[in-house]
Structure 1
Amino acid sequence: MGKNEFLTPKAIANRIKAKGLQKLRWYCQMCQKQCRDENGFKCHCMSESHQRQMQIFGENSDRIVDGFSEEFESQFLDHMKRSHRFSRIAATVVYNEYIADRHHVHMNSTKWLSLTEFVKYLGRIGKCKVDETPKGWFITYIDRDSETLFKDKMKNKRLRADMVEDEKKEREIMRQIERAEQLLPVVENGQVSEVEKTEDKEMVGGKVAFALGGGSSRVGSLGIGKEKGEGLKDVFEDVVEGEKEKKRAKHGDSSAVGKSALEELIKEDEKAKERLNRKDYWLCEGVIVKVMSKKLADKGYYKKKGTVKKVIDKYVGEIEMLDTKHVLRVDQAELETVIPQIGGLVRIVNGAYRGSKARLLSIDTDKFCAKVQIEKGLYEGRVLQAVDYEDICKIAQ
């Protein structure tokens, strides 16, 4: 058996040593050879094969570097597509997972000098969504496959259909509420409405009793005199009044039941809208927010107010400061809603009535909530009693 055969102890030891990752400074990308120490790398650089590869590199260095860059980018994005297709993850985590393969294309052979430059490049060309946070750079893979785009299109179509169906249901519920309010008995000045007015005739003991006129009238059908007719009239009136009282009590109970059913219907509608519209993001364009990032205190932006000009990926906003007109890109976790003075306009940014404009009626500082009235839309005029400060925000005039 020769000295360098596959099953010799030396060859096995070399394979065991080369199994893991080695130092990047001792790796030659042109020859795709990893050396274990400085002496080995020096000997490799003096070899004829390495010299030939360097001659080839010197003839067209730009094309070779671009080729390595394209290969690095392609392999990096393939790893993102396989492992983190729908997640927002730190760029350093993805890079460490990528270089775990010892046969990967190293970054020092590409046109990017650092991971930060490469991440900015991915965001610039639109292949990934890039966010800079205090914890570092975060990236999200943008899937542009035809199948995925078709699925997203169908999903958006279903969502739009569901929204239209929800709007139809809400309009139907509002019509039912209006009809229920119209059917409820109206009591004004201690008297029941026209539904409860005295009718000209009542059924008493299976007979028809007519309301009798003055003292000169007679009960002709019974052939009774004036005195007896008046006595019979009093008896009939007492019976009729008793029937009226029973009927009024019955209608009073039904009105109470109707009101309670109406309140239950409104509460169910509120709960359904709350489940649908309560999200973990609240930023929207056109509202005034307060910057609460202490890292920006040195630049004078801490606790300063600005207007949201653009929302990026639902969680990041471009804020134009009110005093300096500088534009900052800040995560919503470092922003706070602004409450205007009583009577000011606000936008409901989260909860059941998300997206509606309302007017601030009062503030409860003990419970950190406010009372608002919706200005426009399907629920115009509805008063919301206890809305959290985080769910409303001042509108930029």
Structure 2
Amino acid sequence: MGKNDFLTPKAIANRIKAKGLQKLRWYCQMCQKQCRDENGFKCHCMSESHQRQMQVFGQNPNRIVGGYSEEFEATFLDHVRRAHRFSRVAATVVYNEYIADRHHIHMNSTRWATLTEFVKYLGRTGKCKVEETPKGWFMTYIDRDSETIFKDRLKNKRISADLADEEKQERLIARQIERAMSSQQQQQQTLDPIPENSSEQNSDVLPEPSSGKIAFSLGGISSKPNLTVAAPLEVEDGEKSAKKMKVSGQGGVSALEELMAEEEKAKERSNRKDYWLCEGIVVKVMSKALAEKGYYKQKGVVIKVIDKYVGEIEMLEKKHVLRVDQEELETVIPQIGGMVRIVNGAYRGSNARLIAVNTDKFCAKVQIERGIYDGRVLPAVDYEDICKLHQGS
């Protein structure tokens, strides 16, 4: 067995040394060779193979550096999308995870000299949201594909919802007009009856309020004198007014109840949306994709809402900030007496206090606090329409 064979101690030692990462300044990207010390790197630079690669590089250096830069950026963003898609993370943490693969594209072969310069580039181009803190640079991946899908879906839903609302509003207005016209006609027929033979009579009605009687002047033949007959009033004024109050009272109560019911339904239709996220509420993360990171079924506070369907969630325990779609979130019900926010339905946006919970029907009884509906009790509100309000919000 030779001195440098595969199973010799020296060969095994060389493989162990070469297994880990070495210093970046002793790596040649053109030859894809990692040297362990300065002397080895110097010998490599003097080798014939390295000289040939440098001749190739000298023919078109901009194209080669640009290619390495594009590949470095693409692989770096792929790693961010896989490992930290919905979280805000330090740039140094991402870079250390990226260079763990010894066959990665090294930064000294790209047009960026430092990690800070590369992170600023990602922020300028809008590929990541970057911010400088006392602890260093932090970055949040911007998922353009998901945002495009969300915007298209939001646009289509908004168009369909607007059309449906317009049609419902037109039908509601038509019913109200028809109901008002029929009610007016009934009131006129009930309160001001017109005799059937009024068209056949050729007489003038002369009311006499003081006597309570009606005088009829009957026209006869021209040779005979006119005859005036005084007839008593058939229905007294008191009976008429009582009948008016009775009809008006019965119709008024029914119309008021019907109007309140219609108003409640209209409020429910206008405030019932397919999105419910709002700032200041406590939600539970139900994304199984985040189970490996330890966020599954963990609670957090919504600190920002993006495009109505995506929320930035600050976890209560780890204080990490995640970006999660509302389909992967769930509302949280507090203890009896706790404050909640109505996130959907007729009273959307109101704060209320939890009075009771019906576990069989998955609904709760709440009482609105503050605002124009202060003190109103809602006996049955679905779990998904209320959410725990974070203390201090």
Tell me the TM-score normalised to structure 2 length: 0.48
In the superposition, the TM-score normalised over structure 1's length comes to: 0.47
